[in-house]
Amino acid sequence: MPLPKALQNREFRSTSAGATSERVIVVLLAGCALATVLITVGIIYMLISQSAGFFKSDFVTVKGFLTDNQWTALQSKNLEKAKFGIMPLLSGTMRVTIIAMIIALPLGLITAIYLSEFASARIRTWLKPTLEIIAGVPTVVLGYFAILVISPSLQWISVGSFSTFNATSAGIAVGILCLPMVCSLSEDAMRAVPRSLREGAYGLGCTPFETSVKVVVPAALSGIISAFLLAFSRAIGETMVVALAAGTLPTMTMDPTQQAQTMTGFIVEMIKSESEYGTVQYYSLYAVAVSLFCITFLMTLGGQVIRKRFQESYQ
């Protein structure tokens, strides 16, 4: 049977050639997935094997590492007097992260609601890309912005209560960094909500604001929670901003006006130091890195459980 005129000039691959190319693509995709798994396993193995040298030291105990409220890994020249309690670094990390989330989460969610439910197409076309450009700003630039603009402003407002390097200025800068992530992901989740839910709310007499807050946001809650958790993990793992603006003094306090050395900040300081390979100070870098990895892993795992629960509730 002759082919229709519309198909006479087209080239068709044989079934065997198509099957071969399909198998090649599947193998390539499987190889990429396997490479990702192997890289992750390699990173975990490297962290655990290197941190083992820290916990084998005569100057460190697991209990002291987890509970001691002093960290003097680089400040003490005498190892017998050095303290290796991670709590001050964890305290600094939490101070900066909490301040960042106070900035990023509400502003990001409010902006996402506006973009999804109220903004015109013209405003959305320039506002959302503008927010996403902020995510592309180098973190070292935000770090210097925190030192040169945010910290002096806080000192002027508080009449000198803030130190030059403090948790608040670093937290504000990290919050600015996380804001586009919260806004973009939350807005995508809300725009994915079926239009029928909005129309049903309008049919019941709800205002646009009531529809947004009481219908759209709950329906998109799984995606919004994912955005929040990603931003939280991003803030915990931020390095350059806190290394420049938060300070290098590990202190066990929740005072946002004082210095706050974070876990990532210590890793940067450790790399810049002259500690020799094989010393307990050198291995402390990996112990802190393992702790940071465990925190982010547990957050991701908990986020998956929470997101699944809300997905089941609103399907």
pLDDT band at 9 (very low <50, low <70, confident <90, very high): low
What are the pLDDT digits (tens) for 235-283? 998 888 998 888 888 888 888 888 888 999 888 888 887 777 778 888 8
- 149-164 in b/e form (b: 16+ CB < 10 A) is ebbeebbeeeeeebbe
For 87-314, CATH number out of 3.30.70.1280, 1.20.120.10, 1.10.3720.10, 1.10.10.10 equals 1.10.3720.10
| Residue 175 to residues 25, 102, 308, 315, Cα–Cα distance (Å) | 41, 8, 26, 32
Cα–Cα distance for residue pair 8/121, rounded to 1 Å: 44
* Partner residues linked to 84 by β-bridges: 71
Q: What is the pTM of this model?
A: 0.83
What are the pLDDT digits (tens) for 54-104? 888 877 888 888 888 888 877 666 666 778 888 999 999 999 999 999 999
Cα–Cα distance for residue pair 89/69, rounded to 1 Å: 9
pLDDT of residue 314: 47
Asked if 270 contacts 285 with a C-beta cutoff of 8 angstroms, the reply is yes
Neighbours of 314 (CB within 10 A): 12
What are the pLDDT digits (tens) for 273-309? 777 777 888 888 899 999 999 998 888 888 788 777 7
Over residues 106-127, mean pLDDT? 88
Asked if 180 contacts 134 with a C-beta cutoff of 8 angstroms, the reply is yes
